[in-house]
Structure 1
Amino acid sequence: MPVKTVPGTSLNYYLIAFDAAGNEREVYGIRASQEVLKVLSIEAITDVFLISHGWLGDIPAAYQQYDKWIAAMAVQKADIERMQQVRSQFRPLLIGLHWPSKPWGDEELRSSGVSFGLEDVVPVERLVEQYASRIANTEPSRQALETIFQAAKEDIAPPTLPTEVRQAYQILNRESSLGSEGEGAAPGADREPFDPERIFQVAEGEPVSDSGISWDGILAPLRTLSFWKMKDRARQFGESGGFKLLGDLQRAAGDNVRFHLMGHSFGCIVVSAMLAGPNGRGSLVRPVNSVALVQGALSHWSYCSDIPVAPGRVGYFRSVVTDRKVDGPIITTQSKFDTAVGKMYPIGAGIRQQIHFAPKLPKYGALGTFGVCGLDPSIVIDMNMLAVDASYQFEPRKIYNLESSKFICDGTGGGLGGAHNDIAKPEVAHAVWQAAIGN
């Protein structure tokens, strides 16, 4: 069934799954959106919480992640009691969204016990299939991937990219249909023109590995292409299936039902695209009531009306602010221990010198590193994430960048992202609750 009880709690949530094109999929033979719309029509729901994960694998992995996040919310008894005081007869409807979003295959490589060394037998055919589905499922793409993986098997770290590998990457980039229009463009196109040799050299100076598996050398441009392709997919899903779902839910709910959106990583692109609508210019049935963007893997300029480092260009999701699509607060989190957005995001744009915390904001940077930037200081407030017994006093229609390194700090689970996934924390849950409660 698409409805799931969080272990150790009395809370249920629905999982609504979509394919890469933004079309809803059946989960255990059921379209969960129809079940959710039925609940909204017959039950006295007061608040709807829509949650989007970032990069991960399959539906079981989505259930596992949402179990952890919602369990963290469930133990904040003081916040729940406060919500019950503010919202008489408080009764939430919790919805987790699933979309295919695995950007690279470090998990598969680790689980199969292989690495790219001379003595290893690497399942190149399987890797080609996996990456073709993520970047471009075409014959030229498959041939290019085979060239790249065979070269990696022979020599993972040559002094420069071999000519045939460089050409293969250019073919793969072309087949991906990703743009390169710089800041202010749609997520996935908000990058510099693709230069595999430059990315290769940048990665040599900024090594990234996972459990002994190198994602530098010849594979570095593949990693960055995958990263940008998932940004593009997150936007497309948010603008299509996600935007439609939000509209359907708002139309089915009573006017007094409040909506709260939360995204993590690429899920922050999903949430932003759901609010902004197709091409960033859609209209909501009515504004939502709170938004939480946790360790966002989207541009720190996404919400501004004039990008300081690119005068005359606007952030792709500026309509979220200018059209007042959020009645309550928007909160964001930042952590210096999140290497996925702190290191890999600018590497993906090919900008080596920006991989640090500098007083001057870089042209390319992630919201999970720098917060929402480029807006009037009267709208955006920078502050530290607070302990669970402190009150935020969030104000409507303001954005709060919460420096969260004190709490989002644990990268001991390994992987490429450092503390990127360390978000099922009481303090993070408290901030989300406080934004939903409002004033």
Structure 2
Amino acid sequence: MRFPYAKVQFRSTGEPHDPAERQRALDLVRTPGVTDILVLSHGWNNDMAAAEALYQDLAASLDSVRRPGGMNLAVIGVLWPSIRWAETGQLAGGGLGVDDGAAQLRQEIQETVADPELAAALDALVGDLDSAAAQARFLGLLRGSMPAVAPGDEEPPPSLLTEGDAGTAFSLAGEPLPLVLLPEAPGGAGSLGGGLASFSDVFRAGRLLLNTATYFTMKERAGTVGSTGVARLLNDLATVAPNVRRHLAGHSFGARLVTAAARRHAPLHSVSLLQGAFSHYALSTDYDGDKDGFFQGVLSPGRLTGPMLITHTANDLAVGIAYAIISRLARQNASAVGGPDDAYGGLGRNGALRTPQVAAPPDTLLDADATYAFRPGKVYNLQSDAFIKSHGSVTGREVANAMIQAMTSR
């Protein structure tokens, strides 16, 4: 790590895993000369080593770009029990035979379902998943594992994931996704009219439904860890070092985690949301006539003394596919799936929509030597097609340059 660093692990409840780690973070921010503390959060990932590698890579880029003299940055890495989401190509499922599809579904059950009894029950249904009874039982088990919807959530689970005919859900999930979202065209086709998914597609449908249920589980967990554990940590950091500027940055579901923390803790100087895996309406005002986004209050006057940055790109297939699946299960307009005109769309795909604090006109992520004119309290949707080529490629110098300028803006 190029900067002074401490890690803090949190349980899914938001409680610290080890109080000694929290104390090391407090000691870090009190280190003489530290002017800024950056709290980082990873996204869906079941490997803590991979999360810390992300932090190492981003820190190396932050260290390599121009920053003002006198800025002494320290970093705290948040580690939380997220679940690995399936790879984009695996979700597409193109070219898989029946045996391969069943094996892949079983593997993903073992990797993503923490409850061993639930995992065993789902696994036992895989061999009969072409039957209506097995499909109903499989979806019923997923429904039973999902968290309750928070009041005011602008992105509740689609109705077919929580109720209704299992055969219709499997048929919709078994259809090929829009080709623009996929690295290669998937095989097979389902039926929009309901009934059973074809046998060649039923395992892909099972994987998509499993991963969509995982999405909403991780969404809830990220919010819990951010609004409890990380928000409390920020309060403690402010108490022991009130003059050190506090910054948040999160990738994927980590973007939701740090936004949840910002909803409970203020003031912060900057927030950077890197390919955020949550709703493009999360920060909005009146997105549905009379409803505000769940995190709209983060942008209330005085809570941010600097800017909020949001990277977004059409290259982000992970967020694009996640929202395409959710949109399909909600039976939205197929031509708009995951895009800015869809009720279900991701921050990392489209930026923050219907958010008055967004600076106009839309901005672009610039090269690593460029200069920005960021203003306090404003949101900058940084269209990042030129530099962010996938969901995970958020550690480049171009991203680091924008973050440093946000952190040092006045």
State the TM bucket, normalised to the shorter chain.
Answer: 0.7 to 0.9
Q: Residues 17-416 of structure 1: matches in 2 within 5 Å?
A: 17-26=9-18, 31-76=20-65, 78=66, 80=67, 83-84=68-69, 89-104=70-85, 117-118=98-99, 122=103, 128-133=109-114, 137=115, 139=117, 141-142=118-119, 144-151=121-128, 162-179=132-149, 184-185=152-153, 189=156, 191-194=158-161, 196=166, 197-198=168-169, 200-206=171-177, 216-254=204-242, 256-277=243-264, 284=265, 286-307=266-287, 310-322=288-300, 324-349=302-327, 350=329, 351=332, 353=334, 361-376=341-356, 379=359, 381-409=361-389
Match of 2:403 in 1: 432
Q: Is the 8 A contact 2:268 2:303 kept in 1?
A: yes
C-alpha deviation, 1:130, in angstroms: 4.0
SS at match of 1:101: coil
Unaligned runs of 5+ in 1: 1-5, 110-114, 153-157, 278-283, 410-418
C-alpha deviation, 1:95, in angstroms: 0.8
How many residues are paired up?
A: 380
Q: What's the CA shift string for 1:46-88, capped at 9, x where partnerless?
A: 1010111111122212221111111111111x2x2xx22xxxx
C-alpha distance 384-129 of structure 1, shift in aligned 2 (>3 A): closer
Unaligned runs of 5+ in 2: 91-95, 188-200
C-alpha distance 438-377 of structure 1, shift in aligned 2 (>3 A): closer
Distance 1:104 1:124 in 2: 13
Distance 1:407 1:31 in 2: 38
Match of 1:15 in 2: 7
Distance 1:190 1:238 in 2: 20
Distance 1:217 1:20 in 2: 28
C-alpha distance 131-116 of structure 1, shift in aligned 2 (>3 A): farther
Distance 1:405 1:150 in 2: 42
Q: Is the 8 A contact 2:285 2:356 kept in 1?
A: no
Q: What's the CA shift string for 1:397-418, capped at 9, x where partnerless?
A: 1111011001112xxxxxxxxx
Counterpart residue identity of residue 253, structure 1: A
Distance 1:120 1:380 in 2: 46
Distance 1:231 1:384 in 2: 27
Percent of aligned pairs with the same residue? 27
SS at match of 2:113: helix
SS at match of 1:216: helix
Counterpart residue identity of residue 246, structure 2: F
C-alpha distance 60-398 of structure 1, shift in aligned 2 (>3 A): same
Q: CA RMSD in A?
A: 3.2
SS at match of 1:24: coil
C-alpha deviation, 1:176, in angstroms: 2.1
Q: What's the CA shift string for 1:92-136, capped at 9, x where partnerless?
A: 1111111111244569x9xxxxx8743899599876554431xxx
C-alpha deviation, 1:248, in angstroms: 1.0
Q: What's the CA shift string for 1:136-177, capped at 9, x where partnerless?
A: x384x345412443346xxxxx5xx63322232123212323
C-alpha distance 32-118 of structure 1, shift in aligned 2 (>3 A): same
Q: Is the 8 A contact 1:260 1:289 kept in 2?
A: yes
C-alpha distance 199-228 of structure 1, shift in aligned 2 (>3 A): farther
Distance 2:86 2:61 in 1: 28
SS at match of 1:400: strand
TM-score normalised by length of structure 1: 0.77
C-alpha distance 438-200 of structure 1, shift in aligned 2 (>3 A): farther
Match of 1:412 in 2: none
C-alpha deviation, 1:347, in angstroms: 1.1
Q: Is the 8 A contact 2:3 2:74 kept in 1?
A: no
Distance 1:206 1:399 in 2: 31
TM-score normalised by length of structure 2: 0.82
Q: What's the CA shift string for 1:379-429, capped at 9, x where partnerless?
A: 5551111112221111111111011001112xxxxxxxxx10011111111
Distance 2:245 2:81 in 1: 28
Q: Is the 8 A contact 1:380 1:401 kept in 2?
A: no
C-alpha deviation, 1:432, in angstroms: 0.8
Distance 1:46 1:119 in 2: 53
Q: Is the 8 A contact 2:29 2:37 kept in 1?
A: no
Q: Is the 8 A contact 1:381 1:398 kept in 2?
A: no
SS at match of 2:99: coil
Distance 1:354 1:235 in 2: 31
C-alpha deviation, 1:333, in angstroms: 0.8
Counterpart residue identity of residue 99, structure 2: L
Distance 2:204 2:124 in 1: 17
C-alpha deviation, 1:190, in angstroms: 5.2
Q: What's the CA shift string for 1:342-361, capped at 9, x where partnerless?
A: 22223124246155576x62
